[in-house]
A and B are shown apart, each in its own frame.
Chain A
Amino acid sequence: MSHTTTIRSAVRAVALRQIPAALAVIVLVAGLAGPAAAEEPTRWLNVNVTEPGTETNVEVHLPLSLVISVLDGINVEGFEAGKIDLELEDADIDWPVVIAAVAEAPDGEFVRAKTQDADVSIVKREDMIYVDVTEHEGDEAVVKVTLPVTLLSSLNIDNENKVDVKALLASIDTLPDGELVRVSSNDANVRIWVE
């Protein structure tokens, strides 16, 4: 028997011996990965808009992954490339510092403003931030925004005062189910929640 034949036989023997082991590994990995993949729940972004005046009700129930992938394709005034423009041209705000300060601050009411136009209140309580705005004129809108403090770490506002909505939505994926925004006004009621 030549050297080449011996080596071939040895390789074949090793290979044949490895096949059951390799199959066992594949079955084991598939067995572990299968349930894990199956258990990963789809997160849904829900939007409900009702217009009492026209008796119109709109319900949108979309997978978060779909919303995030679509955001890139939306380019309208004030919302481009997954970023929403806060239109604060004159404001020079160091957002990272502000966001970090809010995140680290103890519970309490940060802002309470009462004006002729609206009442505004921003409260931090039990790792949640509650923003309440009550308009006294116009649509007399009541806006309630609920944001988990953990979401602040993903709140990225750049030097041009644009909020990276895509990054924010991506981080919502990690949040527990719950309501994010509720707006009530004379014209329409809007509710946004994640589940």
Chain B
Amino acid sequence: MSQRGISTIPAILLAAVAGLFTALLLMDWVVVDITTADTGHLVVPCPLMVPRVAAAFIPDDAFEDAVVPAELREQREAVLTAVQALLDAPDATLVRVNDPETRVEITKRGHLLEIAVDSDDAVVRCTVPIDGVYEALEEWDWEHVDPELVFDILDRAPGGTLVSVKADDADVDIRVW
């Protein structure tokens, strides 16, 4: 009996650890990859759940003063309608700006808005899930600044690089997988 008891505990622990790893693997992860000339290469992988849980512990009064202006609140329906119209629009390059120093392109592809900025000192690529923005804005109370908004958008982001900044002094990639 005692031998059985000893073998059961490691088995339970192993199952718990395996379950934890499986859960972690199934979670969405966000990876922040920073390379600078000074600090070298830094990679911070983090399950998306962690900052969400951490944000839940932020005291309510921390955002007490961060109230959304009434003028913005009144635009809720207009903003949602605009985002929905963008979502419904066919794929196309919506905005293109060229000058001798900068090139900007905003392209709608599927449910994604791709923003590309090429300037003399930085190259920026950003992918925004329009459907994620719509759902996050729809669920938001439009009264208080809420970090959940960002997590809701990240939740709906496709796997891959969301933001990539390549500047003279640093490269930053934010990936979701």
Enumerate chain A residues within 8 angstroms of B82, measured Cβ to Cβ: 66, 69-70, 73
B98-131 interface mask toward A, CB cutoff 8 Å, 1 = contact, 0 = none?
1110000000000000000000000000000000
Interface of B is mostly: mixed
- The reply on A18 being an interface residue by CB < 8 A is no
Selected from B78, B89, B94, B96, the residue in CB contact (under 8 A) with A65 is B89
B86 near A66 with CB under 8 A, answer yes
Residue of B nearest to A50 (CB): B98
- The reply on B153 being an interface residue by CB < 8 A is no
Q: How many residues of A contact B (CB 8 A)?
A: 19
Q: How far is the CA of A70 from the CA of B84 in the complex (A)?
A: 11
B93 near A61 with CB under 8 A, answer yes
B98 near A65 with CB under 8 A, answer no
Q: Which of A56, A61, A62, A66 has the most CB of B within 10 A?
A: A66
Q: How many residues of B contact A (CB 8 A)?
A: 21
Residue of B nearest to A55 (CB): B100
- The reply on B90 being an interface residue by CB < 8 A is yes
Instruction: Please report which residues of chain A, range 28-63, place their CB below 8 angstroms from some CB of chain B when the two chains form the complex.
Output: 42, 44, 54-63
B88 near A65 with CB under 8 A, answer yes
Instruction: Please report which residues of chain B, range 1-26, place their CB below 8 angstroms from some CB of chain A when the two chains form the complex.
Output: none
B85 near A54 with CB under 8 A, answer no
A56 near B78 with CB under 8 A, answer no
- The reply on A72 being an interface residue by CB < 8 A is yes
Enumerate chain B residues within 8 angstroms of A42, measured Cβ to Cβ: 89-90
Enumerate chain B residues within 8 angstroms of A72, measured Cβ to Cβ: 75, 78, 81
A-B interface, 5 closest residue pairs, ranked by CB to CB distance from nearest: A73-B78, A56-B99, A66-B85, A63-B89, A69-B81
Q: Mark A residues whose CB is within 8 Å of B.
A: 42, 44, 54-63, 65-66, 69-70, 72-73, 75
Q: Can you name 20 A-B pairs with beta carbons within 8 Å?
A: A55-B100, A58-B96, A59-B93, A60-B94, A61-B92, A61-B93, A61-B95, A62-B89, A62-B94, A63-B88, A65-B85, A65-B88, A66-B82, A69-B81, A69-B82, A69-B85, A70-B78, A70-B85, A72-B78, A73-B82
